[in-house]
Amino acid sequence: MKTPKLTIHTHTYNRAHTLPAVYESLKNQTCFDFDWFITDNGSTDNTEELFEKWCKEENPFKITYRKIEERGIPRALNYGINHIEGDYFFMLDSDDKLLPNAVEVILRSIKTIDDNDEIVAAGFVRIKENGQPIKGIWPKVNEKGYVDCINLDRYKYDLDADMCEAYKVDIIKNYPFPVWQDEIYAPEQLCFDAMALDGYKVRWFRDPVYICEYLEDGQTQGNWNLLRKNKMGYAMLSNQRLLYVKNFKEKFKSAGQHIALSIVAGYPSYILKSNKKWLTLLALPYGLLLSIRRRNQFKWDDPVNRRNFE
Together in a domain, 205 and 271: no
Query: Residues 96, 36: one domain?
Result: yes
Are 229 and 265 in contact, with CB atoms under 8 Å apart? Answer: no
Please check whether residues 170 and 34 belong to one and the same domain. Answer: yes
Q: Is 269 part of a structural domain of the chain?
A: yes
Quick check: is 161 in a domain? Answer: yes
Q: Tell me what pLDDT residue 2 has.
A: 72
The answer to the question of residue 183 being in a domain is: yes
- 71 — pLDDT class (breaks 50, 70, 90): confident
Report the distance separating Cα 143 and Cα 146, nearest Å.
8
User: Which of 211, 236, 268 is at the close of a domain?
Assistant: 211
Residues 102 and 152 in one domain: yes
Is 1 within a domain? no
Last residue in a domain, options 181, 211, 241 = 211
> Domain boundary residue among 211, 246, 266?
211
In-domain check, residue 166 = yes
Query: Same domain, yes or no, for 188 and 230?
Result: no
**In terms of domains, do 185 and 235 share one?**
no
Check which CATH number belongs to the domain holding 81 and give it.
3.90.550.10
Pair 73, 103 in one domain: yes
Please state the domain count of the chain.
Answer: 2
Cβ–Cβ contacts within 10 Å for residue 151, how many? 25
| Per-residue pLDDT reduced to its tens digit, 190-247 | 999 999 999 999 999 999 999 997 655 555 445 778 888 999 999 999 999 999 999 9
Residues 101, 126 within the same domain:
yes
Domain co-membership, 61 together with 206: yes
Rounded to an integer, what distance in angstroms lies between the CA atom of residue 177 and that of residue 205? Answer: 24
pLDDT digits (tens, 9 = 90+) for 128-173: 999 999 888 999 999 989 999 999 999 999 998 789 999 999 999 9
Q: Are residues 99 and 206 in the same domain?
A: yes
Q: Is residue 103 part of a domain?
A: yes
pLDDT band at 70, cuts 50/70/90?
confident
Please name every residue paired with 91 in a beta bridge, in sequence order, or none if there are none. Answer: 9
In DSSP notation, 93-129 reads -TT-EE-TTHHHHHHHHHTTTTT-TTEEEEEEEEE-T
Please check whether residues 203 and 227 belong to one and the same domain.
no
- Verify that 164 and 102 share a domain, yes or no: yes
Instruction: State the chain's maximal CA–CA distance in angstroms.
Output: 63
Q: Which domain holds residue 302?
A: 223-309
**In contact, 38 and 50? CB cutoff 8 Å:** no
